[in-house]
Chains A and B, each alone.
Chain A
Amino acid sequence: MNTMRRSVWGFAPAMAMLSLGAWEPAWAATLAVNCNGNPVGTITVNASAGGAGGGGISGGFTSSVGGPPATLAAAAAACGETEFNWYQIVTSANNTYVDRQGNTLTPPFVDPPLNGLATDIDPTWADNMPWYYDMYSPPAGTPNFDSGYLLSNNTTSSTLNFSDYPNGPAGATVSFSTWLVSLNADGSFQAFDGGFSWTWTKGTGVTNITTFNTAPTNAQYANIIGGFAYAVPEPSSLWLVALGVGFVLARRRRRVG
């Protein structure tokens, strides 16, 4: 059973925009996020025409409490938590995706997958937690680390940003569901705060943005995060893991010798 203790009010799943005298469809969604009965902020996402693949989605969660000015920290405190991130899954796709370990992924699966996609698809490093933005940096010198995906580089004092511009071969289409998620100080899960689903199509961009106020089902969360870590590793823990790996390798080498 996944925790969903916020009340979320969604509206405007789709809007029409007047542009250059012609009606052009544009997709946007807004959700008011309440915590313990009080409003703490708003999720707003919009379809964006940018990117090489024909478009994507951008927006974020903006706090409405604290200050003024409002701060994310105040929203987190109002909810009895430490920080926010996103939890995103692929719900359907007409492409084959392979994770860094070589496993073929079948929807629903977590985006990004554990440590990222196979390097011949996308070598960009991802951490080992199930949240959208990386919670920590890899050791210095780790290849293909893009610090632009660090959580800390996607927050301002009052906003947690969200952006994604998927890409793929001609005809590719992928559907996603994305939740705002509350985390404890060690990055472990605390609660889901509502979210939105959306579809990206090569050359068309993002359509069908709809909001929801339900937590993911077990098939969308509990059943698919088995390989992920549940807390940010502390430096001392990383050293212990490195020592353990070194010990095992040394023993194996001695046996071979």
Chain B
Amino acid sequence: MKPKIDVDYVSALAHLQLTEEEKADFAPKLIKVVEWVGKLEELRFDDSRIEGFSSVPFSLPFRPDEIRGSFPTESALANAPEKKKDFILVPKVIEEK
């Protein structure tokens, strides 16, 4: 597979902005890596054998549905870059028409 990577599109999805210099550096390196991982193309899969991979070799337990304490507001806000009273400040989310 010859991969085509639209670096502008992918970086927009990732909320990253690349300079022209970075694009020139990143794009070939990314393509090289994507070509390399394309090695998996060689494998043939019998889908019936490969359902349900789980990284934990046991079923995940549920914990009791009990109310437990959480961080006090002050410590939850302690690292906020900008805050006002008990709130984190962010730019206006809903844009005007």
Chain B binds chain A: no
